[in-house]
Amino acid sequence: MYRLIVCDMDETLLGSDAQIPVRNVAAIKAAYEQGVKFVPNTGRAARSLGYVLDTLGLAMLKDEYVISYNGAAVFSNIDLLHPIITNGLSYTTVVQLFNLAQSRGLDTHVYTADQLYVWNMTAADQNYLNQRKVIYEEATGTLSFLKTTPIMKIIFYLADEQERRTFRRVITETIHEPLNITFSSDMYVEVNAPGADKGQAAVALGRYLGVKPGEIVAIGDNLNDVAMLKTAGLGVCVANGRDDVKQVADYVTMADNDAGAVGEVIERFILNDDRHS
């Protein structure tokens, strides 16, 4: 029996137009009526998901949750500014990463628990964030104003995959400490603390709720989703996902993100699954 669904947002729950397909909304609401929790598990800031939670009927509910920043923080839907679980990066490490990126002029995102700051924003990145109603503040200068503020993660915009792989290698060759480095949305290099990933956060939230890993369904499309697909009882990659992510999934949907892939998963494995009743 599956009791908890953890789901990536962009290119998974959301269609190409950044809206939630009707099939997904109907299935999530039906699963909720059966007592199954639906938890966004995203690289984004929780406070940027207000319109998603509103659409799903999950906004401002105390016993519903969001996993944010690739697993660096977990929030109750009643308060998307103050996490109940955190696993962030040290300021010293973020400064090293920030300086490495700024020396190359890279579009750089720094996430605190309640804010996203962006340096050197490109037009393509700005369009992507605005379409998804992401709340951010453009910044200049150094990181010194964040010295006493907990930082959840830092990411870098690189549209070319080979450039992403090269910059990941530069990071690992320059910064000699454990880091969790992943790719997302085919444009970002994401850096989290070594113990922070979508899978460990899903398990931690499950423990908090009394849900076993085997009772969790995880749905995603990209490399930063692999950890949760591997740790969940059922790991799903949507049809439009990367081939290397499909290889680690237990199930690959027939539908893509525009055709309600998440709805397909819920219909097949929860609403029409005798094991769930």
| pLDDT given at position 277 | 43
Name every residue whose Cβ is closer than 8 Å to that of residue 109 and which is 6 or more positions away in sequence. Answer: 116, 117, 118, 136, 154, 155, 156, 157, 188
Q: What is the DSSP letter of 11?
A: I
Note the pTM of the prediction, 2 decimals.
0.89
Q: Rounded to the nearest 5 degrees, what angle is found at the Cα of 255, between the Cα atoms of 245 and 43?
A: 45
Query: What is the band of 107 on the pLDDT scale with cuts at 50, 70, 90?
Result: very high
Q: Rounded to the nearest 5 degrees, what angle is found at the Cα of 14, between the Cα atoms of 229 and 115?
A: 85
| pLDDT given at position 15 | 97
Query: What is the band of 273 on the pLDDT scale with cuts at 50, 70, 90?
Result: low
Domains and CATH numbers, the chain: 4-86+197-276 (3.40.50.1000), 91-192 (3.30.1240.10)
**Mean pLDDT over all residues of the chain?**
96
Tokens 């309640």, residue? 114
pLDDT greater than 70 at residue 124: yes
220-258 pLDDT per residue, tens: 999 999 999 999 999 999 999 999 999 999 999 999 999
Query: What is the band of 193 on the pLDDT scale with cuts at 50, 70, 90?
Result: very high
170-189 pLDDT per residue, tens: 999 999 999 999 999 999 99
Share of the chain above pLDDT 70, in %: 98
pLDDT greater than 90 at residue 111: yes
Query: Which among 216, 201, 161 has a CA at the least distance from the CA of 183?
Result: 161
| pLDDT given at position 62 | 86
Mean pLDDT of 179-201: 96
- Token pair, residue 112, equals 């605190």
Mean pLDDT of 261-270: 98
pLDDT greater than 80 at residue 274: no
| pLDDT given at position 272 | 87
Q: Rounded to an integer, what distance in angstroms lies between the CA atom of residue 148 and that of residue 227?
A: 30
Q: Rounded to an integer, what distance in angstroms lies between the CA atom of residue 190 and that of residue 152?
A: 11
The number of CA neighbours under 13 Å toward the Cβ of 29 is 14
